[in-house]
Amino acid sequence: MRHFLIVGILVVVAAILTYVGLDSANLMPVAASAQAVPIDEMWNLELIFMSFFFALIVVPLAYSLIAFRRKKGDTSDAEHMEGNTKLEIAWTVLPLFIVIAFAYVGAVNLAETRRVDPDAIIVKVTGIQWSWKFEYPPYGVVSDELHLPVDKQVLLQMTSTDVIHSFWVPEFRVKQDLVPGRITELRITPTLEGDYKVRCAELCGTSHAFMEKPVVISSQGDFDEWMAEQVKLAEQAAATPGGRGQALVAANGCAACHSINGAQGIGPTWSGLFGHEVLLTDGTPVSADEAYIAESIKAPQAKIVAGFEGQLMPSYGFTDEQIADVVAYIKTLR
């Protein structure tokens, strides 16, 4: 009985210390959305149970090693035991109830993270190898940054042009896959103004690790200002072919592979490309004129530049007009 009492006290103490240690380790980033609240509650509940079971297993084990070690000169066998039905029923039924309780709490919290606000703003999100595109339908604005006003639910309607990506802002806690040919939804109510980052949480190829874009949560006033600026920029850009091309390039994440500063990436740089000669994989030189660049956008595998074998640029399905705009933009990159 004395052993049970000592072990019981030690288990409680070890459980509390483990929980305090884990809790103060700041395992989670700051919570910045309404959806983070039920998730963090669930997480905290799990930490408590984890700490308790950790102590329940490790403390009696360590205690037995010390308290019941063989005495010097004792060569007798241990006492024979035939099992313990009561104990077996207890350790089967108790965990069953704990798991059912967790399933219930989990379901309630999951429903909480999906609670629908009928006034939610809609933003269309497209995942592209390896970038993000955000469309704001009411404004006709396309951006590669996600700007949102604080304390307003946003409904993200998401899809992918190529492979499966996953939208993840750790501070918002919730996460959702983007699947080609399908629209998936995610609701977020940002509650804390600040600069965050969306990252891709699904291994999607060479530059998966760099598939990040800024997420800016601001006051409604700052958001409206940013949006007005975007609308103005879009109007200005739409007036010239080069401007339209630049907007297309930004919206489709071309910079994930093609730099405009001469740095070699996954694909050839666009800096100083126009009007210069490039060497193809078979050694033939080709002049990078309008026809060549247009062909390389339309049928990326037709002529591959030496050194970029094996990089499979997708065809983005641009219209001839859009391709002409992109070519006009590339022409400006001297």
Contact range with ligand CUA by CB under 6 A, out of 102-110, 198-206, 223-231, 293-301:
198-206
CA distance 116 to 312: 40
Min dist CB 252 to ligand CUA, Å, is: 14
Q: 200, 247, 273, 330: which one contacts ligand CUA (CB under 6 A)?
A: 200
Asked whether position 303 contacts ligand CUA by CB under 6 A, the answer is no
Helix, strand or coil, per DSSP, at residue 279? strand
Contact range with ligand CUA by CB under 6 A, out of 16-24, 76-84, 135-143, 197-205:
197-205
Q: 38, 127, 245, 267: which one contacts ligand CUA (CB under 6 A)?
A: 127
Q: For ligand CUA, give the closer residue by CB, 127 or 268.
A: 127
CA distance 165 to 184: 11
Cα 146 → chain centroid: 13
By CB under 6 A, the residues from 202 to 261 that bind ligand CUA are 202-204, 208, 211
Asked whether position 198 contacts ligand CUA by CB under 6 A, the answer is no
For the chain, first and last CA: distance in Å? 85
Asked whether position 165 contacts ligand CUA by CB under 6 A, the answer is yes
Number of H helices, E strands in the chain: 7, 12
**Strand 277-279 to 212-218 pairing:** unpaired
Q: For ligand CUA, give the closer residue by CB, 93 or 203.
A: 203
Give which of 327, 142, 96, 107 is closest to 247, Cα–Cα: 142
Min dist CB 67 to ligand CUA, Å, is: 52
Q: Which one-letter amino acid corresponds to residue 266?
A: I
Phi-psi region of 326 (alpha: psi -120 to 50; beta: other; left: phi over 0): alpha
Asked whether position 173 contacts ligand CUA by CB under 6 A, the answer is no
* Contacts to ligand CUA by CB under 6 A: 127, 130, 165, 200, 202-204, 208, 211
